[in-house]
């Protein structure tokens, strides 16, 4: 499973040097353990232990500031989870995050099908440049995307200024701070994720199927409808999962843009640093991680055994 070509079975006809050979992976597992030890220790200390530590923290009652949290109590309690999912607690944040992420995932899928298709299946001058430009938002953290949204859709933003020149009214002024503006900013950072995920998937599709259809006289439109669409549902599923998970986890955009409404990552930050309610923050962290891991799990199912990307 680990190598692209399976090792040939050791047979009597092979030279003795090869049979004793350390290439036979199974014969020197201790060497593998030794080589992986630093990485393993790093992952345990910097990832597994802290993330596992969220569980006991989430089961502990924390009063927070201003007594906004819970009465300190002995023993484990599920109260933090109840508060996280109650209408008076953070349920609104979950609803916002979920609706925002689902609609943004769908919108970016539709927006990005044509460029992904062209990049994967067609040759044209400037293709690399087009891909680089579309990939650019990948490298922006959320706060940068939020700042860009303010430049374009803020109160003195570019678009309201242009619209004012055209129509005399400052349309869309300050829309960066609304749910719609948040969604637009999310779509901005999802475009490269969707384009590149779809492109990679379109590339993996076997061109011989298309060749066969072409010899049988199928035109481009027919090939798209009868071959590519049925074959590319895993690509569509993985794109939806990748973009959905990225939006659910996005913190920086909301940190810059969100005013009245909240999304889960922002709630985590506010609860932890603002209200010092580490119990509720830990519960929210675990619930959020469960959602994004579930999205990635679905992605895995769609791609059974093949190479897939995490969101």
Partner 1 sequence: MSMARRLLAKQRRLGSGWGEGIGLAYCLLLALAVLLPVVVVVLGAFVPAARLGLSSEQWVEGGEGWVSLKYFRYVLDLYSGPLLFSVGLAVFAVAGGLLLAVPAAYGLVRYPFPGSKLLEEVALLPLAVPGIAVAIALIQTYALIRGEWWFVGLGHLLYTVPLLLRTLLHALRGEGFELERAAATLGAGPWQRFRRVTWPRLRRPASLGCLITAAVSWGEFNASFLLATPVNQPFPAALYATYTSNSFAVSSAATTIFLAVILPLLIAVERLGRGDLLSMRQGA
| Residues in 76-105 at the binding interface with partner 1, rule: CB under 8 A | none
What residues between 186 and 205 interact with partner 1 by CB under 8 A? 186, 188-189, 191-193, 196-197, 200
Tell me the window of 53-61, 77-85, 87-95, 165-173 that interacts with partner 1 (CB under 8 A): 53-61
What residues between 2 and 41 interact with partner 1 by CB under 8 A? 2-5, 7, 15, 17-18, 21-23, 25-26, 28-36, 38-40
With CB under 8 A, what is the number of residues at the site for partner 1? 118
Task: Please say which residue, 94 or 186, places its beta carbon nearer to partner 1.
Answer: 186
Nearest residue to 246 (alpha-carbon basis) of 176, 146, 92, 142: 142
75: left (phi over 0), alpha (psi -120 to 50) or beta: left
The C-alpha atoms of residue 100 and residue 269 are separated, in whole angstroms, by 19
**Token pair for 218:** 């199928």
- Residue 179 interacts with partner 1 (CB under 8 A): yes or no: no
What residues between 268 and 297 interact with partner 1 by CB under 8 A? 268-269, 272, 278, 281-282, 285-286, 288-289, 292-293, 296
- Residue 181 interacts with partner 1 (CB under 8 A): yes or no: no
The C-alpha atoms of residue 306 and residue 72 are separated, in whole angstroms, by 48
CB 58 within 8 A of CB 85: no
- Measured from the CB of residue 64, what is the shortest distance to partner 1 in angstroms? 14
> Which contiguous run of DSSP H or E holds residue 266?
helix 264-269
Q: How many CB atoms lie within 10 A of CB 66?
A: 8
CA 54, 89, 76, 245: dihedral to nearest 10 degrees? -30
Task: Please say which residue, 87 or 165, places its beta carbon nearer to partner 1.
Answer: 165
Task: Please say which residue, 79 or 196, places its beta carbon nearer to partner 1.
Answer: 196
- Residue 258 interacts with partner 1 (CB under 8 A): yes or no: no
CB 136 within 8 A of CB 221: no
Tell me the window of 65-73, 86-94, 163-171, 240-248 that interacts with partner 1 (CB under 8 A): 240-248
């Amino acid at each position: 499973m680990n190598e692209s070509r399976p090792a040939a079975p050791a047979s009597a006809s092979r030279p003795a040097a090869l049979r004793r050979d350390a290439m036979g992976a199974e014969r020197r597992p201790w060497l593998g353990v030794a080589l992986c030890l630093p990485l393993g220790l790093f992952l345990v200390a910097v990832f597994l232990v802290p993330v596992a530590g969220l569980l006991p923290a989430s089961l502990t009652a924390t009063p927070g500031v201003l007594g906004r949290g819970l009465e300190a109590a002995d023993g484990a309690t599920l109260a933090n989870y109840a508060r996280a999912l109650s209408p008076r607690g953070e349920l609104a944040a979950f609803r916002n995050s979920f609706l925002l992420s689902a609609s943004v995932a769908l919108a970016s899928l539709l927006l990005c099908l044509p460029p992904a298709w062209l990049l994967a299946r067609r040759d044209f001058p400037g293709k690399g440049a087009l891909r680089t430009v579309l990939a650019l938002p990948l490298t922006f953290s959320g706060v940068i995307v939020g700042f860009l949204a303010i430049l374009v859709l803020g109160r003195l933003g570019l678009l309201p200024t242009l619209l004012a020149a055209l129509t005399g009214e400052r349309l869309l002024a300050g829309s960066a701070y609304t749910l719609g503006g948040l969604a637009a900013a999310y779509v901005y950072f999802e475009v490269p994720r969707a384009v590149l995920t779809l492109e990679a998937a379109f590339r993996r599709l076997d061109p011989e199927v298309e060749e066969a259809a072409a010899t049988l006289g199928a035109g481009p439109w027919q090939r798209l409808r009868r071959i590519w669409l049925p074959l590319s549902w895993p690509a569509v599923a993985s794109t939806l999962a990748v973009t959905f998970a990225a939006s659910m986890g996005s913190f920086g955009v909301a940190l810059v843009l969100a005013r009245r409404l909240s999304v889960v990552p922002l709630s985590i930050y506010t609860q932890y640093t603002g209200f010092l309610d580490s119990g509720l923050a830990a519960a929210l962290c675990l619930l959020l991680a469960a959602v994004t891991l579930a999205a990635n799990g679905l992605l895995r199912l769609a791609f059974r055994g093949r190479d897939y990307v995490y969101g």
